[in-house]
A and B are shown apart, each in its own frame.
Chain A
Amino acid sequence: MSLIDDFLARWREYRAPGYYEEFDYHWTMTVDLDRCTGCEACVTACQAENNTPIVGEEAIARGRHMQWMRIERYWEGEYPDVKLRAIPMFCQHCDAAPCETVCPVSATYHNQDGLNAQIYNRCIGTRSCAVYCPYEVRYFNYNNHHWDAPLEQQLNPDVSVREKGVMEKCTFCIQRIRQAKDAAKDDGRRRVQDGEVQPACVQTCPTEALVFGDRKDPESGVSQMLGNERAYTVLEELNTDPSVVYLKKVEADA
């Protein structure tokens, strides 16, 4: 009996909100929608960087597409007077993430850097996280994927190739964060400086709409952006406390 009590006590301790309050870094991304043109360069960069498979026509028809990052398009007005609103949507790395609380095997959890981690080899594929995610940014491997030669040569060796039955999502390019930390350690520094980490999407964005950095550093580029009066988070009413902050598009006639 005491064993079960002990287990339950640990379980509650782990599940209690706020168990990850002490962040070492707090990686944050800002998306300036005024700069975003919806060109999807970030989507392509993400696909290339993170070994995301090309699932094929049939899978897409069944709603089994795989893109860690997508551009949501909203058309406003009647033709010919239409306006396009493009919103890049990817894992929001919520500090109070609904997906983390439902995973029965803790394959997804919040780490000390404010990242919503997804551990592929622990995932058993219940897909409950995808159900709970209000942003619809978790993607499930319904099939084993395969890269036609010579495409397998461009796979990123720093990123695991996911197997069938595993959930996956944006990691804020954890391999690049690890690499930057590695380089910082080589230099004898404990912390990564601002600008040393750039996820693939941020690096690629031609209009520099995306900014990535550590929110805990008040001097960082991303902290400067957070003070902007246009800043908002998506689905704020759900209290998920996302780490991705959007800057509202400036309207000419508003």
Chain B
Amino acid sequence: MGVSIVPTLRVLKPAAMMVAVGFVGLLIGYFANAAFFPGTTPVQPIEFSHAVHAGDYEIPCLYCHTEARRSPSAGVPSVNKCMGCHAIVATDSPLIREVARYYENNEPIPWVKIHDLPDFVHFPHKRHVAAGLECQECHGPVETMDRVTRMAPNEMGQCLTCHRDSEVEHGIDCLTCHK
């Protein structure tokens, strides 16, 4: 009756399952971790251009991200702050109309976080702004980007190199960032 392929398949079945599970794991792992790789450029709910605001019009970073001056978190500006200018400026633009819709509905814009640190790292923006660091040293040339790309690897080596080079007092003690 010829040679049946079924016994061979039966042997290969576990191996095939393993490969399939491994492949699915790889896919999940890749997409779950994509946010942590440098060079990712997530699509934002509104095509806000840093190149226009911080580049062409030279609005200082800290004008919108004011919290960086006084708190650990740099903060995303509220819709209210957008409307502070855009109640008057470029009100006809379709993008601004979208912002205005969020404003009227009393809803925050669901911006996608780009530079995200693990929860066990406590990075205070305040101290670094007070030390006179330029935002661009970690965030890259944001003022040239239409859609912001994650530039910094945000790995511990980057923190330690800078803390060593700038001779931060006890700056490489673990408890400086981990607590």
Which residues of A approach B to under 8 Å, CB–CB? 24, 109, 111-113, 115, 117, 119-122, 158-161, 171, 174-175, 178, 182, 185-186
Contacts and interface: CB of A to CB of B under 8 A. Distances in A.
Interface in B86-121: 118-120
Contacts of B119: 160-161
A247 to B, nearest CB: 28
B10 interface: no
Contacts of A185: 127, 130
Interface stretch (B14-22, B157-165, B171-179): B171-179
A109 B124 contact: no
A192 B170 CA distance: 15
Q: Is the interface of B mostly helix, strand, loop or mixed?
A: loop
B139 interface: no
Interface of B: 118-120, 122, 124, 126-127, 130, 170, 173-176, 178-179
A117 B170 contact: no
B120 A121 contact: yes
Contacts of B127: 182, 185
B24 to A, nearest CB: 23
B179 A159 contact: yes
Q: Is the interface of A mostly helix, strand, loop or mixed?
A: loop
A138 B8 CA distance: 55
B179 A182 contact: no
A175 B179 contact: yes
B174 A119 contact: yes
B120 A111 contact: no
Contact of B174 (A117, A158, A159): A117
Nearest to A171: B179
Contacts of B118: 121
A117 B175 contact: yes
A208 B130 CA distance: 36
Contacts of A24: 170
Nearest to A173: B179
Given A158-B179, A161-B119, 17 more contacts: A115-B175, A117-B173, A117-B174, A117-B175, A119-B174, A121-B118, A121-B120, A121-B178, A122-B174, A122-B178, A160-B119, A160-B120, A171-B179, A182-B126, A182-B127, A185-B130, A186-B130
